[in-house]
Amino acid sequence: MKQLLSIFLLTMALLAPLAEAKAYGFSFQDSVGKTHNLSDYKGKWVLINFWATWCPPCLKEIPDLAALFRERKDIMVIGIAMDYEDTRVVQAFMEELAIPYPVVMGSREIAAQLDELSMLPSSYFFDPEGKPAARQIGVMTRTEIETFIDTY
């Protein structure tokens, strides 16, 4: 009996990192068909930003997110477009706003990989080790993002 308990505990200890990785993970396919997993960006900050074409605050923060993506090599930004009827409308916004980072056509199922989405814009930060670092509901600026990263 003691040996069975030891085997069970050892098995659970070995499986714990897998459960933790899944809890902190995501798998998104972007608008060009590339799959993005949290583990792909080990060593970088990952910012997941949920937005919509009809949301003025969302559109206001996109230029700052684009600048971060272009200018900082330690940040990966992934946009998740929500609440749309036609992907062509989202594609047109992506082109008009010159969004350089990957954009995923979102859904409630995609959002559920991170949390229950309650408001747009909403952003989720993962630290360079892949652990959840923060959640921001509402607009944020580049300065706020960089201050958070620098003081984390």
pTM for the structure as a whole: 0.82
Local confidence band at 1 (pLDDT 50, 70, 90 cut-offs): low
Average pLDDT for residues 65-76, to the nearest whole number?
97
Q: How many CA atoms lie within 13 A of 61 on its CB side?
A: 25
Look over the chain and give the mean of its residue pLDDT values, rounded to a whole number. 86
49 in Cβ contact with 135 (< 8 Å): no
Residue 20 is predicted with a pLDDT of: 39
Distance, in Å, from the CA atom of 119 to the CA atom of 14, rounded to the nearest integer, reads 37
Residue 25 is predicted with a pLDDT of: 81
Local confidence band at 116 (pLDDT 50, 70, 90 cut-offs): confident
Backbone angles phi, psi at 84, to 5 degrees: -125, 155
Average pLDDT for residues 95-106, to the nearest whole number?
96
Distance, in Å, from the CA atom of 126 to the CA atom of 152, rounded to the nearest integer, reads 11
